[in-house]
Structure 1
Amino acid sequence: MKASAFVYPWDVVGDPGAAGWIAGLGVRQVTLASAYHSTRALTPRHPRRRIVTAAHAAVLYPVDDSRWQGRALRPYPAGEWAPGDAYGEAAAALADAGLDVHTWVVLAHNSRLGAEHPSTSVVNAYGDRYAWAPCIAQADTREYLVGLAVEAAVRPGAGGTELESLGWYGLAHLHAHDKTGGVGLGDAGQYLMSLCFCPSCRDGYGGQGLDADELASAVRTALEPLWQGAPDDGGWAGVGKLLGDRQAAATRAWRDETARTLQEEAVAAVRAAAPDGFQVLLHADPVSYHCGANAGVDPAHILSVADGVVVPCTGGAGLLTPFAEDGGDAAVLAANLTVVSGMGGSPGTLRADAARARELGATELRLYHAGLASDEDLSAVREALSRL
């Protein structure tokens, strides 16, 4: 199975040995971040530093000003954590080490965008704005996301791209000093707290025969038992139980169509700008109403649009099955396995986890994350890949 390791440019830039040890893991490809959200990251082998703080979502290459001229929404350049063309410098070093380089593009996840342009954010039924979550129903936001997908995906020398967060983002978010776990929200509660009530979405609900004010009130009423400690039954049946089947179905129809059309538009735009043979994958979850970095999709639909998917498999590879059932022989089904012990990964079981993923339909592996892992973790990865 072909394996690719996730890498940040700052893992490579300034470290002359980085590309060599990454290639020495036994991977054939790297998935290199070209547009990424804010983060604080460890660099355990870098000769000059140990911590990188990316203060805001940014592109990690020079912005093409001509592409964005006259647009209210545009990408932010990186600060000192990725100056100049950090992506290009890292990509060149990795290619020189014999690795195929694909871009890693984070799209609808941008707290700075929400802070500077509050109207772009998801607004929940209580009127709270989620600054990290651009609403993908808004025309300006969709234009921005498609433009970013093209510019950040089709970088010089890249053989393909992986598009993350190409769909709805909701309540769940790895926020600094997070204090949102006091009430156990399962799938149903997360869905209701992720429904957007910005003007575009209110119009969208109207198109589904719903009154947006009545719907917002119904969502608040549906959530009240959860705030009082009632269990969240979870799953789509739980949403219907809390909100009512008709209203639940209408909200999902609006959100599913909004995500599908954005995914179609973005993938088509990337392909139009890319050279022949350029591979386009989405980080995806096979349950279309799920939100987050792994966008909820309909498996049959997304595999008719993109070349394949990257599927979260840490803790189990079961999410591969719906894609395998709908993918056909040509689709790329990449099992994403965390190999950082300190982040819940299990590099020591990588060989067994990869074998199980292959049984369930995986054609490739993604290893998260070469730059964050300890030497001991990487030794286990190297051993496992040598025996696959």
Structure 2
Amino acid sequence: MKTSAFLYPWDVVGDPHAASRIADLGVQQVTLAAAYHSTRALTPRHPRHRIVTAQHAAVLYEMDEARWAGRELRPYGAGAWASGDAYGEAAAALTEAGLEVHTWVVLAHNSRLGAERPDTSVVNVYGDRYPWAPCIAQPAVRALVVELAAEAATRPGALGTELESCGWYGLAHLHAHDKIAGVGLGDAAQYLMSLCFCTACRDGYVQQGMEPNLLAAAVRHGLEPVWQGAAPADAGIEKLLGAELAAATLEFRTRTARTLQEDTVAAVRAAAPDGFQVLLHADPVAYHCGANAGVDPAHILSVADGVVVPCTGGPRLLTPFADQRAGGSVLAANLTVVGGMGGSPGTLADDAARAAGLGANQLRLYHAGLASDADLTLVPDALSRLA
């Protein structure tokens, strides 16, 4: 079973032993960040630093200025955390160590864009903006996502790409000093709090046959028992919003995400060499938001070469994709191997076997740069047992 480890360029650049250390894990591939959101990351083995603070979403290479000239929105370059062509330098070292390199590209997740251009952000039914969540119904945001994917995914020497957050982002976000857990929000409430009411989305609701102000009133009405603690945590979207509005909003959002995914994959393929693999980080529940975009499994497997599916909480999300897979589609199970982040490297072999039993034909290990030495020492034996 082909296995890839996630890495950041700063895990490799400046550490002469990093590439060989990763190769010694027994993986065949590295999924290396080429465009990434803001983060604070541990680097427990690096000879020059222990914490890297990426202050904003950025490309981790030197972007093509001519490509972006005159565009309304454009990516941001990285600061000292990934200066110059950090991606290219790391990729070269990994390739020299005998590893395949695929790009890891984060798309609709950008807090700096939301801060500098608040009009581009998702705005909820109460008028609160989510600066980390660019609204993918807006033409300028869609143009940014598609062009960024074409540039960042197809870095020289890359054999494929994995596109993260290629769809709707919403309320859920690993935000600094987060304090929004005072009221438990189930899936349905998360969805209602993630519905966007920016101008573009309001126009989309009209085209879908909904009156935006009436929809907003229905959303607020559906959420009121949630704030009062009177709604069951497992209440469905139809229960809170009504079946007709639930279906109509999901149809608009699903169509918006589908067309973005189609355009993005097409742009990457147009820019890439023959045989270049395009995967999406995906969730089989269409109304889910975030890094693993909610998709329709049959549709996305007809568009991309496969999907990367979060499996740290168990492999159940693989089944809807396995049921729709045909031919050589990749179904990669993403398993966290960082104990401090909820992963279980000690059960990696068993977890991978369960994932394979539900249709996974590849593995992803999150994240070889963040894991402790104790976590990483468990990986080679686990992978050898899967051979």
| TM-score calculated relative to the size of structure 2 | 0.99
Partner of 2:230: helix, strand, or coil? coil
Taking the aligned partners of 1:208 and 1:271, their CA distance within structure 2 comes to 31
State the partner residue of 1:117: 117
Residues 1:301 and 2:299 are matched in the alignment: yes
Residues 1:228 and 2:228 are matched in the alignment: yes
- What amino acid is the match of 1:277? G
Q: Any gaps of 5 or more consecutive residues in structure 1?
A: none
Alignment of 1:1-388 (within 5 A): 1-234=1-234, 238-388=236-386
Taking the aligned partners of 1:219 and 1:387, their CA distance within structure 2 comes to 50
Shift, 1:257, TM fit? 0.1
Taking the aligned partners of 2:362 and 2:246, their CA distance within structure 1 comes to 36
CA RMSD of aligned residues (A): 0.7
Taking the aligned partners of 2:258 and 2:232, their CA distance within structure 1 comes to 28
- What amino acid is the match of 2:84? G
Is the Cα–Cα contact under 8 Å of residues 185 and 233 in structure 2 kept in the other structure? no
Is the Cα–Cα contact under 8 Å of residues 184 and 233 in structure 2 kept in the other structure? no
Partner of 1:81: helix, strand, or coil? helix
Taking the aligned partners of 1:232 and 1:328, their CA distance within structure 2 comes to 38
Residues 273-294 of structure 1 deviation map (CA, whole Å, 9 limit, x = unaligned) = 1000000000000011100000
- What amino acid is the match of 1:371? G
Residues 73-112 of structure 1 deviation map (CA, whole Å, 9 limit, x = unaligned) = 1000000100000000000000000000000000000000
- What amino acid is the match of 2:253? R
When the two structures are aligned, how many residues end up with a matched partner? 386
Is the Cα–Cα contact under 8 Å of residues 185 and 232 in structure 1 kept in the other structure? no
Shift, 1:231, TM fit? 3.4
Taking the aligned partners of 2:234 and 2:167, their CA distance within structure 1 comes to 21
Q: Any gaps of 5 or more consecutive residues in structure 2?
A: none
Taking the aligned partners of 1:70 and 1:47, their CA distance within structure 2 comes to 41
Is the Cα–Cα contact under 8 Å of residues 317 and 335 in structure 1 kept in the other structure? yes
Residues 131-159 of structure 1 deviation map (CA, whole Å, 9 limit, x = unaligned) = 00000000010001000000000000000
Shift, 1:328, TM fit? 1.4
Runs of 4+ with deviation above 3 angstroms: 231-235
Taking the aligned partners of 1:208 and 1:7, their CA distance within structure 2 comes to 42
Taking the aligned partners of 2:47 and 2:289, their CA distance within structure 1 comes to 38
Taking the aligned partners of 1:3 and 1:74, their CA distance within structure 2 comes to 33
Is the Cα–Cα contact under 8 Å of residues 188 and 232 in structure 1 kept in the other structure? no
Is the Cα–Cα contact under 8 Å of residues 170 and 194 in structure 1 kept in the other structure? yes
Is the Cα–Cα contact under 8 Å of residues 282 and 295 in structure 2 kept in the other structure? yes
| TM-score calculated relative to the size of structure 1 | 0.99
Shift, 1:208, TM fit? 1.2
Shift, 1:233, TM fit? 4.3
Partner of 2:31: helix, strand, or coil? strand
- What amino acid is the match of 1:67? R
